[in-house]
């Protein structure tokens, strides 16, 4: 029996050209780590729904977000703190009320296309699983 190679060593690539192409075009490990951290922020239903709500109506205060999402103000406040720290939302004060909105540089296609497509893909996978 031949000795097993480590995860970084292989006796031969099946398709060397594609290996080189993938290696040249891959994001760095640091960028992948940052992306994974950002996507984990969206894994929380309250945070992702806040982003959708702010995309729909531009800005809302904590109380109005809580009403729209049908969750507690504490849950919204906590989620907004995380989203603001990550640079995904901004706020402005109008007297005693603080309004939140998506950050100016928030990638518009993220909500409109990518996340909605992922939801549809997930729903389709769930339907297939339910049929089994």
Look up the CATH number of the domain holding residue 106: 1.10.10.10
Mean pLDDT of 53-75: 96
In a domain, 20, yes or no: no
> Which residues in the chain belong to E strands, given as ranges?
59-61, 89-94, 97-102
Domain count, the chain: 1
In terms of C-beta density within 10 A (0-12 exposed, 13-18 middle, 19 or more buried), how is residue 84 classed? middle
In a domain, 87, yes or no: yes
In a domain, 106, yes or no: yes
In a domain, 101, yes or no: yes
In a domain, 82, yes or no: yes
Domain that holds residue 100: 47-131
Q: What is the mean pLDDT of the chain?
A: 86
Question: Using one digit for the tens of pLDDT, what is the confidence trace for 8-54?
Answer: 666 777 888 888 898 888 888 998 888 888 888 888 999 999 998 99
Specify the higher pLDDT residue, 100 or 108.
Answer: 100
- Asked if the model's pLDDT at residue 97 lies above 60, the reply is yes
In a domain, 13, yes or no: no
Q: What's residue 76's pLDDT?
A: 98
**How far is it, in rounded angstroms, from Cα 6 to Cα 130?**
39
Which residue, chain included where needed, has tokens 């993938």?
22
Mean pLDDT of 81-110: 91
In a domain, 90, yes or no: yes
In a domain, 73, yes or no: yes
Mean pLDDT of 79-92: 95
Those residues whose C-beta lies under 8 Å from the C-beta of residue 39, and which sit 6 or more positions away, are: none
- Asked if the model's pLDDT at residue 6 lies above 60, the reply is no
Mean pLDDT of 97-101: 97
**How far is it, in rounded angstroms, from Cα 128 to Cα 45?**
23
């Amino acid at each position: 029996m031949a000795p097993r190679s480590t995860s970084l060593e292989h006796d031969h690539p099946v398709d060397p050209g594609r290996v080189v192409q993938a290696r040249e075009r891959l994001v760095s490990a640091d960028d992948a780590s940052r992306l994974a951290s950002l996507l984990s922020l969206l894994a929380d239903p309250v945070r992702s729904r806040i982003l959708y709500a702010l995309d729909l109506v531009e800005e809302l205060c904590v109380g109005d977000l809580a009403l729209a999402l049908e969750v507690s103000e504490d849950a919204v406040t906590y989620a907004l703190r995380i989203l603001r720290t990550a640079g995904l939302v901004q706020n402005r004060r109008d007297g005693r009320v603080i309004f939140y909105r998506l950050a100016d540089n928030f990638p518009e296609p993220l909500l409109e296309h990518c996340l909605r497509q992922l939801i549809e893909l997930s729903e389709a996978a769930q339907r297939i699983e339910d049929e089994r």
